[in-house]
Amino acid sequence: MISDAHPPTGDQPQAIEAIGEGLVAGERFQTLLGVTGSGKTFTMANIIAQSGRPALVIAHNKTLAAQLCNEFREYLPGAAVEYFVSYYDYYQPEAYIASSDTYIEKDASINDEIDRLRHAATAALLTRRDVVIVASVSCIYGMGSPERYAQRLVMLEAGAQMSREDIFTRLVEVQYQRNDMVLERGRFRARGDVFEVQPANAETAYRVSMFGDEIESITHFHPVTGEVFGGLQYAAIYPATHYVTPQDTLERAVAEIRAELEDRCALFDAQGKLVEAHRLRQRTEYDMEMLREVGFCSGIENYSRILDGRAPGEPPATLLDFFPPDFLCFIDESHNTVPQLRGMYEGDRSRKLALIEHGFRLPSAADNRPIRLEEFLERVGQVVFVSATPGQFERDQSSRVVEQIIRPTG
């Protein structure tokens, strides 16, 4: 429901009506050409509220995405407005520079709060329809499959028969870590018949009291202040990572990784590239051992095609796959954002090919990639480009260009 604090004024009412008509008519692409200060975000919020459909709004940088997110929360107070951007404060991708024989190891600093917000976004998409996700182009990068993410949900119910050991095993399988001293996001701790767990998507936690093999009660509380919000019948705990892989899939994947490793090393040996063969074998053997023992390894995303069971060249699952088929997509500042969507694939590919060629990664690592612009357009239904200066691509694609020139202030 749209906030009634500010009714649409200026050119906003006719823009809302025109784009709404286009959506009802099933038009695939439209452009909202709105001058700076004409209230394009408010127009988008009204269109989303009228359609009653989940929406993805893509911005071209984190700062703009955060600003849009705050505005949508003000305009759509009852909806789940979530923020989905890259969770790296600092990111140096893995790379190899052949001219100077320099290998650069991946180095990154992950922002814990942004990681929580990403999990909150995917959890909202799986549980409700009144959802608006404001994202950067991070939304076209590969992440785990939504089906597997939803299947690995740990559901606790007061009164249910479930042993403490079974619950802990399931939590560990979805990458929760036990820490009996400090309770943090993605952690759990146990004291006698009581254990506490803080979901990956939440700032609050659950206290679960057991009586033998029965869940006696579930209490919702704040882990820092200790404030209790009340008792619950159910508690849904989503995986602590978007890359969740069941044990039987891991065993199949490790066998496939080994087969690819042997093929690649045989090729390197035949070409006399002994250093590359040794390098690849050493690294991949270590990763396979980690996958077997703990179900995870550093750089697990490089094996995502095999873990997901995808065919070579098949695009990865992205945030787009978490949306239902009828979602709306708004591309904000499209004159900047569309070129970004187009350019991500090529930049990533040239870096990956250098790593593969010199024995730092298996060939399947090339399929851990952002999706191409054509693949993006296949995955979105109805799209509204939003810009004061739409590019030629947007104009060529759009069946209608709706102008919003008169500002709300006149």
The reported pLDDT for the residue numbered 393 is 96
Task: Let me know if 297 is exposed, middle or buried by CB neighbors in 10 A (0-12, 13-18, 19+).
Answer: middle
Least reliable range by pLDDT among 41-45, 172-176, 232-236:
172-176
Q: Provide the residue ranges of all domains of the chain, joining segments of one domain with +.
A: 12-147+312-404, 154-237, 247-297
The reported pLDDT for the residue numbered 249 is 87
Q: Has residue 370 got a pLDDT over 90?
A: yes
Q: Has residue 61 got a pLDDT over 80?
A: yes
Q: What is the mean pLDDT of residues 338-357?
A: 92
Q: What is the mean pLDDT of residues 249-255?
A: 92
Percent of the chain with pLDDT over 90: 79
Residue 384: CB atoms within 10 A of its CB come to 27
Q: Has residue 18 got a pLDDT over 90?
A: yes
The reported pLDDT for the residue numbered 1 is 66
Q: What is the pTM of this model?
A: 0.89
C-alpha 198/C-alpha 167 separation (Å) is: 14
Planar angle of CA 151, 128, 143, nearest 5 degrees: 50
Token pair 């002994």 in the structure block, residue: 274
- Length of the chain (residues): 410
CATH architecture of 154-237: 2-Layer Sandwich (3.30)
Order of strands across the sheet with 177-178?
A: 177-178, 187-191, 194-198, 205-211, 214-221, 228-232
The reported pLDDT for the residue numbered 195 is 97
Q: Has residue 336 got a pLDDT over 70?
A: yes
Q: What is the pLDDT of residues 260-316, one digit of tens each?
A: 999 999 999 999 999 999 999 999 999 999 999 888 888 888 999 999 899 999 999
Instruction: Judge whether 234 and 199 are in contact, CB under 8 Å.
Output: no
* Mean residue pLDDT across the chain: 93
Task: Let me know if 36 is exposed, middle or buried by CB neighbors in 10 A (0-12, 13-18, 19+).
Answer: exposed
On the CB side of 364, CA atoms within 13 Å amount to: 27
Instruction: Judge whether 334 and 68 are in contact, CB under 8 Å.
Output: no
For 12-147+312-404, which CATH superfamily applies?
P-loop containing nucleotide triphosphate hydrolases (3.40.50.300)
The reported pLDDT for the residue numbered 400 is 95
Token pair 């069946």 in the structure block, residue: 399
C-alpha 33/C-alpha 40 separation (Å) is: 9
C-alpha 312/C-alpha 314 separation (Å) is: 6
The reported pLDDT for the residue numbered 410 is 56
C-alpha 48/C-alpha 39 separation (Å) is: 15
